[in-house]
Every structure is written in C-alpha cells, then in structure tokens.
C-alpha cells in the first residue's frame, strides 16, 4: 500500500521490535493507521515514525506504560515538552550519581595498586609527604579491629558535611616518647579543602620527611621492633606518628596491612 509500511518494515527502519510495536498497539499508545481485515497485518504511516522516536526516548528515560498512555491520549505538545524536561533533569541526576560511582571505583583501584607497590618493599624508607588535610574523630583504642568503629564515626562526619575524601584512612597517635604512642584520632584524607580557618574535626598532617614501614597484621610486633632499632641507631626524633591502612586485600583479615608513617625532624 502506498505510503504505508508493514509492522516488519517499521521495526527494521526504526530499530524497534515487532513485539514492542504490537504491545504499544494493544495498550493504545501507538495504533496502526490501517489493519488488514483479512490478514490482521498492521500498517503504519510515515508521520507515525516521529511517535516511535518519542516512545523510544521516553522509554530510555524510564517512562512507564501508564505515563506513555497519558501522553498519547492527551496529545498535548506543551505537556510533552514539560514531561521531557523533567525526565532530562532526572537523567542528569542519575548521570551525576553514576559518575560518583565511577570515581569511587577509580579511587579504590588506585588505592589497591598503591598498597601493593608499598608492600613489595618491606624495608624502612624515608619518604616526603605533602601537607594533607584530614577529617578526624576521637579514637581511644586500637587493635582487634576496634579502630574500624572509629572509622565509622569519621564516615558520619564526611556524609554530614558532604566532604570528598580519598581512600586513605588511618590512626593518628600522640607521641609521648620515641617508643610510646597513644591513639589520638581516626582520620580520612580529604581530596581538597579550603582551610582558611580552623574547623572542628578538620586537621592537618604536616608536610615533611616521614620514616615509613609497611607490614602485615601478623608481623606487626616484629616490624615495630625493626622501627625501634632504626630510631635508636640513627638517633631519630619523632614529631608525629600515623598508621595508614593499606587496601591490598578485602577478603582476608589475616592479610590485613598497614604502613607506619613517622614524621621526623630534619637534620
């Protein structure tokens, strides 16, 4: 028939399934302009192609069958444009959420790769760190995974203030002597922060040279003795002490790893 296209032709031309076209007919969303009384074949006109485009866009935006029925029953262009504008806003928000998820995946991947590199060399090194801004929560005790209770308090502050952090978390210690450290607070390193004035739960890890040693949980005591020997032999003065979690393994607590970072006085 002139200027009419069968359901199969329309499906091929518009990238839609025959099943979907039949469904839209049954629900009254897109009714063929002609149905052959003998064969039951459905035929569509060229001017209906734009309706299919609208349906596909709406479906991609998560529009329900009920919403589509309303659109094609009322056939109000202004209302359609308002509806599409609303769906656009919803889609933009979803895109932002997905971008945040991707960003988190990237941060996690980077943290794991860094942790693996650090753990390859289990020797004491002196490493320079830039100034780091951190979110903090008081911490009274560590060991037997008690520190993770305090990390959850840090997470609450991050969520409440909508702060962006790296995957770097740890425990800061008060230094009483070369060999005696007391837990002070749990922390998470901020990605960026405008530190114009002192603010509650925000602190700074000073820039400088840090004595570092990475270790597995099961050899912590041996590693601490190694650090003590180094400090004693080299007469090192410790100014600050933090213990950073290394995210190299998530599924085995036996492989739990950390890196001790001790800020030292420059010679």
Cα dihedral 253/259/260/261 (nearest 10): -150
**172: pLDDT strictly greater than 60:** yes
Which tokens sit at 48? 């209906």
Pick among 3.20.20.370, 1.20.1740.10, 2.40.50.100, 1.10.1660.10: CATH of 4-75: 1.10.1660.10
Residue ranges per structural domain of the chain: 4-75, 102-264
Q: What is the pTM of this model?
A: 0.67
**34: pLDDT strictly greater than 90:** yes
Shortest CA distance to 127 belongs to which of 263, 4, 33, 245?
263
Average pLDDT over every residue of 208-227: 86
**267: pLDDT strictly greater than 60:** no
Q: Could you identify the residue written with the tokens 């820039």? A: 207
pLDDT of residue 195: 64
In 3-state terms, what secondary structure has residue 123? coil
pLDDT of residue 106: 87
**Better-predicted residue by pLDDT, 108 or 19:** 19
pLDDT of residue 137: 93
pLDDT of residue 140: 84
Whole-number Å distance between alpha carbons of 36 and 43: 8
Helix residue ranges per DSSP H, 48-191: 49-60, 65-74, 77-120, 147-161
**23: pLDDT strictly greater than 70:** yes
Whole-number Å distance between alpha carbons of 169 and 185: 11
CB-based burial, 51-72: b 16+ in 10 Å, e otherwise: bbebbeebeebebeeeebeebb
List 231's β-bridge partners, or say none.
none
Average pLDDT over every residue of 206-235: 87
For residues 50 and 30, the answer to whether their CB atoms sit within 8 Å is no
pLDDT of residue 54: 93
**36: pLDDT strictly greater than 60:** yes
**Better-predicted residue by pLDDT, 146 or 2:** 146
List 205's β-bridge partners, or say none.
132
Shortest CA distance to 189 belongs to which of 138, 142, 242?
242
Band of residue 14 on the pLDDT scale cut at 50, 70, 90: very high
* Domain 102-264, architecture per CATH: Alpha-Beta Barrel (3.20)
The CA distances from residue 168 to 5, 179, 199, 264, in Å, are 61, 25, 20, 21
Q: Among 36-40, 170-174, 196-200, 208-212, which stretch is predicted with the lowest mean pLDDT?
A: 196-200
**Would the CATH topology of 4-75 be identical to that of 102-264?**
no
Parallel/antiparallel/unpaired status of strands 238-246 and 208-216: unpaired
Whole-number Å distance between alpha carbons of 166 and 162: 13
């Amino acid at each position: 028939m002139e200027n009419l296209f069968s359901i199969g032709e329309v499906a091929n031309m518009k990238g839609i399934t025959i099943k979907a076209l039949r469904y839209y007919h049954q629900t009254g969303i897109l009714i063929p302009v002609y149905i052959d009384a003998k064969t039951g074949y459905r035929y569509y006109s060229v001017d209906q192609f734009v309706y299919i485009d609208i349906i596909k866009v709406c479906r991609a935006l998560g529009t329900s069958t009920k919403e589509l029925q309303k659109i094609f029953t009322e056939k109000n262009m202004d209302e359609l444009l308002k509806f599409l504008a609303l769906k656009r806003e919803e889609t933009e928000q979803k895109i932002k959420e997905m971008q945040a998820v991707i960003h988190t995946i990237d941060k996690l991947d980077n943290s794991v790769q860094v942790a693996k590199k650090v753990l390859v060399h289990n020797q004491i090194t002196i490493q320079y760190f830039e100034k780091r801004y951190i979110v903090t929560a008081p911490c009274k005790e560590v060991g037997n995974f008690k520190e993770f209770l305090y990390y959850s308090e840090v997470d609450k502050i991050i969520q409440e203030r909508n702060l962006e952090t790296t995957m770097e978390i740890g425990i800061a210690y008060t230094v009483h002597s070369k060999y005696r450290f007391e837990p002070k607070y749990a922390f998470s390193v901020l990605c960026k922060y405008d530190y114009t004035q002192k603010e509650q739960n925000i602190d700074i890890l000073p820039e400088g040279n840090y004595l570092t040693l990475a270790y597995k949980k099961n050899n912590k005591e041996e590693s601490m003795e190694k650090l003590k020997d180094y400090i004693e032999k080299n007469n090192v003065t410790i100014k600050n002490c933090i213990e950073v979690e290394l995210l190299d393994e998530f599924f085995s607590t036996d492989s739990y790893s950390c890196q001790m970072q001790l800020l030292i006085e420059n010679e």
